């Protein structure tokens, strides 16, 4: 059994020998396995970047040129707002041009 462990981090590259960390720059990311050398202990190790992407989307009435589907609601302090059931925009009734 090995005295050293595989290392995993979402923030830094960690040397599996001395556990020193270094921050990798975005342009250095590469999903191909390669051999790196630790700048602290000088030992070589295998290094693979795993790149994940997240996507967030949301509807928008304004950019689609469609009217909001507004429903009124009151806050605890009695302020009246309109809430769009399509895009989720919240519009204070005094500020609404709908």
d(CA 71, CA 96): 12
Instruction: Tell me what pLDDT residue 2 has.
Output: 53
Among 69, 50, 72, residue whose Cα is nearest residue 60 = 69
Helix (H, G, I), strand (E, B) or coil at 17: coil
Q: Which residue has the tokens 């975005």?
A: 26
Residues of the chain whose pLDDT is less than 50?
A: 1, 96, 98
Burial of 89 (0-12, 13-18, 19+ CB in 10 A): middle
Tokens of 43: 């030992």
Distance CA(18)–CA(44), nearest Å, equals 11
Output the pTM of the full model: 0.46
pLDDT digits (tens, 9 = 90+) for 74-89: 888 989 999 999 999 9
pLDDT of residue 95: 54
From residue 10, alpha-carbon distances to 6, 55, 66, 67 in Å are 14, 18, 41, 42
């Amino acid at each position: 059994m090995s005295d050293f462990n595989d290392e995993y981090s979402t923030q830094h590259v960690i040397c599996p020998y001395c556990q020193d960390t270094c921050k990798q720059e975005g342009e250095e990311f590469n999903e191909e396995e390669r051999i790196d050398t630790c700048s602290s202990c000088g030992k070589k190790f295998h290094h693979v970047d795993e790149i994940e992407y997240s996507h967030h989307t949301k509807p928008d009435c304004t950019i689609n040129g469609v009217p909001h589907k507004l429903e009124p609601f009151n806050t605890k302090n009695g302020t009246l707002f309109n809430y769009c059931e399509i895009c989720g925009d919240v519009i204070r009734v005094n500020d609404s041009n709908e």
